[in-house]
Structure 1
């Protein structure tokens, strides 16, 4: 992975921090993470698969929390926190060039 790609993935941590500080909404976080990943455009299948697995969980939880069609009670704050923590860990490791956990 190229340095510029790691830099874009590292910026995901900044966006997660902005969400934690209530500076961005959950839908904006989901959108920003997807955008940063697309711009990074990593070629390694393992990195792509790891991100997609995490992002799809975040996107699904976001839908359950924000969409009017979502039945009440399906959203789970604890599941959201675990997913965000997992994305933070993945982005930090990947930006630092470390292998998957």
Structure 2
């Protein structure tokens, strides 16, 4: 990947921090992370696949909290914390600190 791609991925940490501080909701976090990833547009299949796996889990947890079809109590806070931890690790591996 090019430096600018690593830098865009590295910026994802700031969005995780905004979510952790309560500044942005989970839905916005998922949207912003997707946007940064798409802007980075990494070509490496392993990078794309590993992000997609994490993002799909994040998006699913977000839907369980926001969609009217989701039964109450189905969202899993422990699972969400684990996804966020794994996302931070993924960013550390593939991003440059911004």
Q: Same fold (TM over 0.5)?
A: yes
Question: Which residues of 2 match residues 52-63 of structure 1 at below 5 A?
Answer: 52-63=52-63
Higher relative contact order (CA 8 A, sep 6+): 2
1:87 aligns with 87
TM-score normalised over the length of structure 2? 0.96
More divergent stretch after superposition (65-74 vs 43-52): 65-74
TM-score normalised over the length of structure 1? 0.93
Give the secondary-structure state (helix, strand or coil) at the position aligned to 1:90. Answer: helix
Q: How many angstroms apart in 2 are the aligned matches of 1:22 and 1:15?
A: 11
Q: How many angstroms apart in 1 are the aligned matches of 2:75 and 2:95?
A: 30
- Counting matched residue pairs gives 96
Q: Which ranges of structure 2 fall in alignment gaps of 5 or more residues?
A: none
Which stretches of structure 1, 4 residues or longer, exceed 2 Å deviation after superposition?
A: none
RMSD: 0.7
1:43 aligns with 43
CA apart distance, 1:92: 1.2
Question: Which residues of 2 match residues 18-37 of structure 1 at below 5 A?
Answer: 18-37=18-37
Q: Which ranges of structure 1 fall in alignment gaps of 5 or more residues?
A: 97-101
